[in-house]
Amino acid sequence: MKPQINLLADKVKRLLSRKGIVVLLAATLVTSSAFAGVEDNKEKAIKNLREEFASAKDVQWKVTENYLKASFNWNNQQLEVFYNYEGEMIAKSRHIEPTSLPLDAQQTITKKYPGYRSDETVEYDGIEGDHYFYTSLVKDNTKILLQITTQGDVSVYRK
């Protein structure tokens, strides 16, 4: 009786290992095709980046659930360009000095946030015409992200 159990156990192992290989192969193909789609779109984004910013240096790519992002140096500026999954540009941003913010915004920030220091300031330009500035302010253990319009209106974007 024991030899039959061993034979049965061996058959089950072989069957499971074959099914396991099939499942593993299927999972690999699905993952590869999904990755290939992302890679194809990334190639389109890379081509578009090269056309738009031919002299870009130190390009770093990041793939997220919603977009592809290229961070790079161009004309002595730190830029980030965002692409959708079709490889089309959806927005671009650049790091700027806080003194490049609209004057009204600078005055508002100085009055409303005394003692805060600027951590990072970015100009954001979306393809749908949305143009904002974002600046993060730090004081002690508090960090505030402000959104600023081109007219100089300041609002808290996130605390």
Rounded to an integer, the average pLDDT of 89-97 is 95
Closest CA to 74 of 57, 89, 60: 57
pLDDT category at 21 given cuts 50, 70, 90 is very low
Share of the chain above pLDDT 90, in %: 62
- pLDDT at residue 85 in the model: 87
Per residue in 119-139, pLDDT tens?
A: 999 999 998 889 999 999 999
Residues 6+ apart with CB under 8 A from 89: 48, 52, 81, 82, 83, 127
- pLDDT at residue 42 in the model: 80
Reply yes or no on whether the pLDDT at 27 is more than 70. Answer: no
User: Would you kindly state where each structural domain of the chain is located, as residue ranges?
Assistant: 2-158
Structure tokens at 71: 């961070």
Per residue in 42-65, pLDDT tens?
A: 888 889 999 999 999 999 999 988
Rounded to an integer, the average pLDDT of 96-102 is 96
Tokens 């927005």 sit on residue: 91
Closest CA to 44 of 90, 76, 94: 90
pLDDT category at 38 given cuts 50, 70, 90 is low
- pLDDT at residue 15 in the model: 41
CATH topology of domain 2-158: Nuclear Transport Factor 2; Chain: A, (3.10.450)
Closest CA to 117 of 96, 152, 143, 95: 143
Reply yes or no on whether the pLDDT at 25 is more than 60. Answer: no
